[in-house]
Amino acid sequence: MTSMIFANSQTAIPLQSDLSYALINEQISLQFNGLDNQLIDDHFPVLQFPTQIEDDARILGDGFQMLAQTGGQLNAPQDIGRCPDNNASYRLYPAQAEKRFYNYLVIEETVGFTLFGFTSCQRFAGYFEIQQHQAGINIMAFIDGEHTQTQDWRSKQMESITVIKGTVLADVYADYSAKIELQHPRRPGVTVDAPIGWCSWYAYYAQVTEQHILDNVDVMCASQSELEWVLLDDGYQAFMGDWLTPSDKFPHGIKSLLQSIKARGKKPAIWLAPFIAQAESDVFKQHPDWFIRHANDDLLKAEDITYGGWRCTPWYILDTSNVEVQAHLTAVVRTMQQEWGVELFKLDANYWGSLRGQRLQKGITGVEAYRLGMQAIIDGAGDALVLGCNAPMWPSLGLVDAMRVSDDVERRPERFEQIAKEAFNRSWQHRQLWQIDPDCITLTSLVDQSTDQDNYEFHRDVILATGGLALSGDPLPALTEFAKHTWTKLLTRQRLSQESAQFQSLANNHSILQLAQQYQLHCLFNYADSEAVEHTLVADSPVMWRDLWTGEALYPRPTSTLTVNLDAGLSSRAIIMSAVS
């Protein structure tokens, strides 16, 4: 087999004689052309990329599911999220196996950046491994064939891969986004203004009641009028799976509540976990044949093969290869959209829709089944926005308007830091693949969940830099003056720019955002293990530098450079650079 060479001089070596490889427009497409029936396992090597990499090069690899990312350095990789794909809970691959970098792998060296990435995910997840040898390093690309047999495939087309090099990180990501869009066109909602509003979960969790919602809407209408969206999160339903049946905490029903929200000039949104059901639900009791099974025909519980879920377990998984299940999902969502008035759907636990198991359609992968289920939901959603959460990342390409990119927020510094790293690493995806959701903004302590003021200040700077969806997670009747002031500034930022600030390095210490022709936002970050550091900000001509939150001038007169110190540990600054007329 003949090696292929990208325009940037990167060599790619084909590894399978039964695949055809075509390098077109700087993407290598893969197609199975073998005559024999083959079983394609979860570790199917397709390409080898020989390279030389600095030992201390920074790396960033994505995970199959939202809660997994890998950072650090080539010689010292570090898991970023709580739930790596190979940990004891998720078990996507063995803990002792080589680290897998799903979707894409970015390498930062002295001379610039190299991105190895899958540009499609129609049927198979793809990932990379870093393999060291005496002559250098091989970046290996693999397909997860999910142990399917080629004779059962509906198509012989597999996935596509690219390699991009550049000296500016934002430019590398922009090129990658453009290549992905050729394979997975963006949904219309990707480029609308990001939703701004309130979500019930982090104020009341599953104990949310009808009165809670009404009390918060009262505040939104009286003193927080710029908060448009009201997201009714988990806790309204009788059982997981019975999304149209309310719990007794909503005595007037969900339809009536959402219509009253709409009548007061706000936009109703709702949460559901469309691909799971608990045993007590009517959908499970009435349709046990709708659910994924083991090879021995026993019903599959999520906990059998992965994390079992956060409440109301065990979870059973709908078989979205079944047209009856697809029709059911479409009907539920269409009822919510057309009869209840829902304008945004937050779809949670999406990862579980991609689990592998025995489905009605033989040979279908979990990725394919998930995409069929998502399309069924889209068919019912009409012009409502679709937000993915706890999702398989690349299998969701082209299927959501917005995507949660970080773990659940908690009012404590460790989680604020974790969310910052997760959101910053994926902020390049904002308004390119989907709108990013860095999770809710929590600035007010609860009785059983609180932290210090400086940690809330770090959190608000993270949200300021990332942009994306802006949903308060606090009980609005209890908002502090600090929280109200923060919201005033955040809303101004959103009006001036819908973009995410751009980082210049995978270190995620300094991001820049052009807010308007005369204003530029600089956000600086230190993390828990960081020493005190000095940043020098530079402008092309003398400008004024001010603290964004206080308006204080950081230098008495215009200057083209400004030195800013950050304390050791978790700390941040938000600085506005304004041109002098």
SS (H, E, C) 295-344: CCCCECEHHHHCCCCCCCCCEEEECCCCHHHHHHHHHHHHHHHHHCCCCE
- Report pLDDT digits (tens) over 540-557: 999 999 999 999 999 999
Tokens of 130: 């870093």
Question: What pLDDT is stored for residue 35 in this prediction?
Answer: 86
For residue 13, the surrounding DSSP H or E stretch is: strand 11-14
Question: What pLDDT is stored for residue 43 in this prediction?
Answer: 98
- Report pLDDT digits (tens) over 316-360: 999 999 999 999 999 999 999 999 999 999 999 999 999 999 999
Question: Whose CA is closest to 266, among 195, 184, 172?
Answer: 195
- For the chain, give the mean pLDDT: 97
pLDDT category of residue 133 using cuts at 50, 70 and 90: confident
- The set of residues, in sequence order, having a beta carbon less than 8 Å from that of 556 and lying 6+ positions away, is none
Query: 3-state DSSP call for residue 180?
Result: helix
Tokens of 210: 């009808």
pLDDT category of residue 198 using cuts at 50, 70 and 90: very high
Query: Under a CB-based contact definition with an 8 Å cutoff, are residues 121 and 159 in contact?
Result: yes
| Half-sphere exposure at residue 515, Cβ-oriented, CA atoms within 13 angstroms | 26
Question: What pLDDT is stored for residue 167 in this prediction?
Answer: 98
What pTM value is reported for the model? 0.97
- Report pLDDT digits (tens) over 149-184: 999 999 999 999 999 999 999 999 999 999 999 999
- Report pLDDT digits (tens) over 478-510: 999 999 999 999 999 999 999 999 999 999 999
Question: What pLDDT is stored for residue 97 in this prediction?
Answer: 96
Question: What pLDDT is stored for residue 445 in this prediction?
Answer: 97
pLDDT category of residue 516 using cuts at 50, 70 and 90: confident
Is residue 364 pLDDT above 80, yes or no? yes
pLDDT category of residue 419 using cuts at 50, 70 and 90: very high
Q: Would you give the DSSP letter of residue 20?
A: E
- Report pLDDT digits (tens) over 440-471: 999 999 999 999 999 999 999 999 999 999 99
